[in-house]
Amino acid sequence: MKNPTPTPSSLIWGKNALLEALRARTSIEKIYLAQQLRGDFEKHIRQWAREHATPLVRVPRQKLQKLAGPHHQGVVAVVSPVRFYTLDEALQKAPSSTGIVMLDRVTDVRNWGAIARSALAFGVYILITPTKHSAELNAATIKASAGALFQQYVVRVHNLVALAHDLKAMGYRILCADKNAATTELSVLYPPPRWCLVVGSEHRGIRKELLNLADEIFYIDQRDAIDSLNVSVATGIALYRLYKTISQR
């Protein structure tokens, strides 16, 4: 599904307007900078984007003018309807921090939203996504989540592998859903007290570096009539299994 063009109400343009939005801790989905823009403002925005794991894209001024008109001053930002959190903030705020879902390169907004919906249904409040190669969290994603994203804590990071290392150091076990590399069938998987479920796109799967960190790699038993399950469907099945196993302890 192609991401819709941002609407004027979801955009901030102009240097002072963006700086004020950042001071107010507005959640930013993406920042567009003119290719020729240089100077202190440009350096500040690049640093902020790096520290807050926010995508920053260099574009021609014609692109900015198309988005916001002639008074953009070399910068246009897309406001996210969903707030982003650090991992520490999410762990402190979430009603339950025993389970986490990490989405690796899930780029379809409908799949992303459906995963969020299933996660909330089965008691998972923390979702982790990379800065690049991920669906935009926009109105379409929220609609697909049936509003679940407003009750969850989304953590956006530059490096999923580094964050997975951090989670393991905190006592979380990494559970990867990958039928090609799996050694365990989902129905016999016994989840630990703290776990992070990693799911990847149907086309590219979970990146090798994350699979190498996995404590368990599992598959979902199915008939051979179809090659693989949709990622959001597979995630829902896995979360149901984890939820039922934990609730029966």
Residue ranges of domains in the chain, CATH in brackets: 8-79 (3.30.1330.30), 84-247 (3.40.1280.10)
| The model scores a pTM over 0.85 | yes
Q: Which residues are CB-neighbours of 131 under 8 A, at least 6 positions away?
A: 53, 54, 55, 156, 157, 158
Q: In tens digits, what is the pLDDT along the chain, a chain of 249 residues?
A: 455 566 555 899 999 999 999 999 899 999 999 999 999 999 999 999 999 999 999 999 999 999 999 899 999 999 999 999 999 999 999 987 789 999 999 999 999 999 999 999 999 999 999 999 999 898 899 999 999 999 999 999 999 999 999 999 999 999 999 988 888 999 999 888 899 999 998 788 899 999 999 999 999 988 775 667 899 999 999 999 999 988 776
Neighbours of 177 (CB within 10 A): 24
pLDDT at res. 249: 66
Contact 29, 53 (CB under 8 A): no
